[in-house]
């Protein structure tokens, strides 16, 4: 079982500021949940959870909902497009409203950076970050690291190359902060327009050829919706220079695994055949997201 923690620490806002031991505890608990044969273990049946998605999502929202329902929680789903946000209600007021109605925990996804931290300092229920702006996406990184640990057993010394739109990637940031706590070596590879110079002091930028010599090749989605006009010349040009094409994938070590947080722009950042290849962990990553989020929700509500 995970250690008992206070209400404030039950929130999961990011991985930068929590300890290696705490991350390890969540991974261990996820392994416990993955091993359970029963589909539903209703330990949270008397608790209400709100999934508050101010930004669209398919995988993350359904993964959280699946995890919550497998634990028996009473689930409320909130979508900004079908709410009073459309009438001008703020994120703060929406969260405070649901808190006032008696939810026990909230899962929240939003576009602005920095808002979630302020919310967490105000509300009296634990909040789980399901992606905030370009800041962090902690549960995605947890399931990524869980996938790596299942494959390699040990994270220390693992060489991980994260390739693509680093500038806008909360996934890259959460993976960087967490992997370094376990002694993994993280490299970035990105076109200049998609690099995040402020992260270079933590992880070096390498060429595409250098990035291919890794234990883990993690491709990132090109986040077209976050780009100003002109940052991406063309999809074909990007694929040629930074895509994991079939030709590049054929040169990888047979022990290298290929990851991607999805959704995938097939034949842009990664070729269609590579997505479906034996070295691809993209669909196992999605499977691993459910036990990870079960562990996170259990931690949020029961400590």
Q: Which residues fall in the annotated binding site for carbamoyl phosphate? A: 59-60, 109, 137, 140, 262-263
Given a contact cutoff of 8 angstroms between Cβ atoms, the answer to whether 148 and 155 are in contact is: yes
Known binding-site residues for L-aspartate equal 87, 170, 221
Given a contact cutoff of 8 angstroms between Cβ atoms, the answer to whether 12 and 139 are in contact is: yes
Give how far the C-alpha of residue 262 lies from the chain's centroid of Cα atoms, to the nearest Å. Answer: 10
User: Any residues with CB less than 8 A from the CB of 160 and at least 6 apart, and which?
Assistant: 148, 175, 179, 184, 185, 186, 187, 214, 215, 216, 218
What the block records as the tokens of 179 is 């992997």
Given a contact cutoff of 8 angstroms between Cβ atoms, the answer to whether 44 and 69 are in contact is: no
Within 3-111, residue ranges assigned H as helices are 7-10, 20-35, 59-70, 91-100
Known binding-site residues equal 59-60, 87, 109, 137, 140, 170, 221, 262-263
What is the distance between the alpha carbons of residues 194 and 245, in angstroms, rounded to a whole number?
19
């Amino acid at each position: 079982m995970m250690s008992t923690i206070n209400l404030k620490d039950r929130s999961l806002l990011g991985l930068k500021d929590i300890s290696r031991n705490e991350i390890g505890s969540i991974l261990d608990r996820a392994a416990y949940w993955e091993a359970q044969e029963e589909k539903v273990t209703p330990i949270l049946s008397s608790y209400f959870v709100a999934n508050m998605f101010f930004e669209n999502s398919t995988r993350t929202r359904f993964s959280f909902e699946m995890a919550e329902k497998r634990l028996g929680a009473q689930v409320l789903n909130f979508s900004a497009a079908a709410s009073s946000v459309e009438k001008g209600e703020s994120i703060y007021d929406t969260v405070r409203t649901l808190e006032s109605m008696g939810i026990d925990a909230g899962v929240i996804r939003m576009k602005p950076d920095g808002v979630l931290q302020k919310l967490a300092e105000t509300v009296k229920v634990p909040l789980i970050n399901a992606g905030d702006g370009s800041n962090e996406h902690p549960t995605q990184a947890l399931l990524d690291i869980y996938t790596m640990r299942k494959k390699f057993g040990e994270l220390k010394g693992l060489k991980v190359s994260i390739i693509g739109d680093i500038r806008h990637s909360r996934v890259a940031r959460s993976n960087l902060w967490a992997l370094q706590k376990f002694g993994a070596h993280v490299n970035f590879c990105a076109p200049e327009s998609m690099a995040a110079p402020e992260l270079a002091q933590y992880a070096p930028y390498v060429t595409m050829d250098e990035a291919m010599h890794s234990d883990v090749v993690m491709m990132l989605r090109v986040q077209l919706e976050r780009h100003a006009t002109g940052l991406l010349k063309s999809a074909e040009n990007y694929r040629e220079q930074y895509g994991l094409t079939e030709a590049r994938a054929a040169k990888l070590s047979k022990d290298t695994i290929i990851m991607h947080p999805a959704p995938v722009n097939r034949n842009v950042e990664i070729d269609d055949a590579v997505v479906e290849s034996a070295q691809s962990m993209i669909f196992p990553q999605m499977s691993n997201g459910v036990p990870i989020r079960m562990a996170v929700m259990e931690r949020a509500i029961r400590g």
